[in-house]
Amino acid sequence: MSTPLPEDWNHWLGDEFQADYMQSLKHFLAQEKEAKKTIYPHSSQWFRAFELTPLNDVKVVILGQDPYHGPNQAHGLCFSVQAGVAVPPSLLNIYKELASDLGVEPVKHGHLEAWARQGVLLLNTSLTVEKGNAASHRGKGWEWFTDSAIKTVSQHAKPCVFLLWGSHARQKKTLIDTQRHLVLEAPHPSPLSAHRGFFGTRHFSQANRFLVEHGRAPIEWQLPATP
């Protein structure tokens, strides 16, 4: 938990690490470790989204909920999995929408680091999870921290695009200055809900159009064939 954030993020979020909720979260995670529970992702990757996407470079924010809770999947970026791991169903649907919207060729991996390095903040609202136990770390304090991160982007980043997919992500709209930023909402891309309005949204082309209109380079959504 003492892992320092990159300087630009730390300037606005550093004080959060002294807050009571963060001390409680730190205690909870220590107890989980003492109980020999496996936590994903590895602690070195809890803040990976912030490391790869400096605040001043944020162009698009995609919000997830929890890290993947299977072995070798989570590595600190929402919807993304490590190289060599099967592409999760929700990400497959994101690829389908990208192909329909921009003609982007789906790749056979789910490693999204290339997006993060371009300014796509791939942020889960909870940054850890117990192995095999979805949502096990919700309500333990991470949401306070990630809400502060969303507000930091809203207040201090250049005009950017927030992609809020699913009811959980859409609840965060109240944290965003919609006069400065573009907020695009849709059902979650999971197989259970993607056909209820995620497909056909053309969020990726809309995001790039907004960025160009505000003098920013668009995202190259085409991922490399190999991560």
Active site residues: 66
Structure token pair of residue 27: 């205690």
Q: How far apart (Å, rounded) are the C-alpha atoms in residues 167 and 20?
A: 28
- DSSP character for 160? -
Query: Hey, which bits of the chain come out as E strands?
Result: 39-40, 60-64, 120-124, 129-130, 161-165, 182-186
Q: How far apart (Å, rounded) are the C-alpha atoms in residues 191 and 198?
A: 10
Q: How far apart (Å, rounded) are the C-alpha atoms in residues 120 and 58?
A: 6
Q: How far apart (Å, rounded) are the C-alpha atoms in residues 30 and 197?
A: 41
CB 162 within 8 A of CB 59: no
Q: Is 70 left (phi over 0), alpha (psi -120 to 50) or beta?
A: beta
Q: How far apart (Å, rounded) are the C-alpha atoms in residues 97 and 87?
A: 15
Q: Estimate the share of the chain in helix, then strand, then coil, as percent rounded to the nearest 5.
A: 40, 10, 50
